[in-house]
């Protein structure tokens, strides 16, 4: 690793903040970008070299990590007014870690490569806890040079890095398939807990049974605890899964491949968003079931 390796994380949400903190802990010169000034202050207090609504140090960076919500935001950060792509030094590497379509990943990579920049199509998973622990999973595709140049960042933030291949878009496709499972697991967990509520089974008991039996999943154990606690403060919002399951179904359509469970889960999350729960935690998809009383609700 160079004596001074500089990285900027754009998007200081639950994952981005953890990734940036892990970079700081690893001794990287770390900057952050977010429109939320409170998050920027938090990162500076954690030891960042700087954080704000923009990155004035773009020309000094060895790496740029994008953890914004969608492809539109990725493109705005890179190619919009005062975009970072034109200010990065040649050879710097951009790690695109937002969940986006394979086509968007290819479009972004093509524009960056024209500017003599390296690109890694590298979606991530693991949640805020693993991000803070430097233990996320990275599903990456790109040239070996991009992997090599990003090694200090990958070593700092990841417990497991999968090299899916050189073709940009493969990393995004693996993440989209992963999100199919994640979204269906949350939707199925919500349906099961809603049925338990309808049957007047205490939800803490139902949760305990499932998490000690064969029907458990990581998403059930993590998200249905929010339901039991009546706490829908967003760790990952309903609207994120409207977007991600939309990408899943678009991928199925592009491949002429049926995805009946993903389509149903998408409808459940879209209904939850339409009902006004879009900004709540994704476990709030359970709120679309009528005729049940959930923890935390008024009598």
> How many Cβ atoms are within 10 Å of 188's Cβ, its own excluded?
18
Measured CA to CA, the distance from residue 3 to residue 247 in angstroms comes to 40
Q: What is the rounded distance in angstroms from the CA atom of residue 65 to the CA atom of residue 95?
A: 5
Phi, psi values for residue 124, rounded to 5°? -130, 160
**Whole-angstrom Cα distance, residue 277 to residue 283?**
10
pLDDT given at position 1:
52
Cα 3 to chain centroid distance, Å, stands at 30
* Known catalytic residue at 235: no
Element (DSSP H or E) covering residue 114: helix 102-114
Rounded-to-integer distance, Cα 120 and Cα 122, Å: 5
Token pair belonging to 224: 């249905």
SS3 of residue 164 by DSSP: strand
Average pLDDT, the chain: 97
120 forms beta bridges with 95
Q: How many residues does the chain have?
A: 299
Question: 175, 235, 243, 287: which one is catalytic?
Answer: 175
* pTM, full prediction: 0.94
Residues of the chain scoring pLDDT < 50: 299
Structural domains of the chain sorted by starting position, each given as residue range(s) with its CATH number in brackets = 6-167 (3.40.50.720), 173-288 (1.10.1040.10)
Radius of gyration of the chain (CA): 20
Contact status, residue 254 vs residue 211, Cβ threshold 8 Å: no
């Amino acid at each position: 690793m160079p004596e001074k390796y500089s990285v900027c994380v754009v998007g200081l949400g639950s994952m981005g903040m953890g990734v940036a903190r892990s970079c700081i802990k690893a001794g990287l010169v770390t900057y952050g970008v977010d429109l939320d000034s409170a998050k920027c202050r938090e990162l500076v207090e954690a030891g960042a070299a700087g954080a704000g609504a923009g990155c004035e140090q773009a020309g000094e960076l060895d790496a740029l990590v994008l953890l914004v919500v969608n492809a539109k935001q990725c493109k705005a950060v890179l190619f919009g007014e005062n975009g970072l792509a034109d200010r990065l030094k040649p050879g710097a590497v951009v790690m695109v870690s937002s969940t986006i379509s394979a086509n968007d990943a290819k479009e972004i990579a093509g524009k960056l490569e024209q500017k003599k920049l390296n690109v890694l199509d590298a979606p991530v998973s693991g949640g805020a806890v693993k991000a803070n622990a430097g233990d996320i999973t990275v599903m990456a595709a790109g040239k070996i040079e991009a992997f090599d140049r990003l090694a200090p960042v990958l070593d700092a933030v990841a417990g497991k890095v999968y090299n899916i291949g050189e073709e940009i878009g493969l990393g995004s496709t693996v993440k989209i398939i992963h999100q199919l499972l994640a979204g269906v697991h949350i939707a199925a967990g919500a349906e099961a807990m809603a049925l338990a509520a309808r049957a007047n089974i205490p939800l803490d008991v139902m949760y305990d049974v499932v998490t000690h039996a064969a029907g458990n999943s990581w998403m059930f154990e993590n998200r249905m605890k929010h339901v039991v606690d009546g706490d829908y403060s967003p760790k990952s919002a309903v609207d994120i899964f409207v977007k991600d399951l939309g990408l899943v179904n678009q991928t199925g359509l592009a491949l002429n491949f049926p995805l009946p469970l993903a389509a149903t889960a998408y409808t459940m999350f879209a209904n939850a968003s339409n009902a006004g729960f879009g900004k709540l935690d994704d476990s709030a998809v359970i709120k679309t079931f009528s005729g049940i009383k959930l923890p935390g609700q008024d009598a």
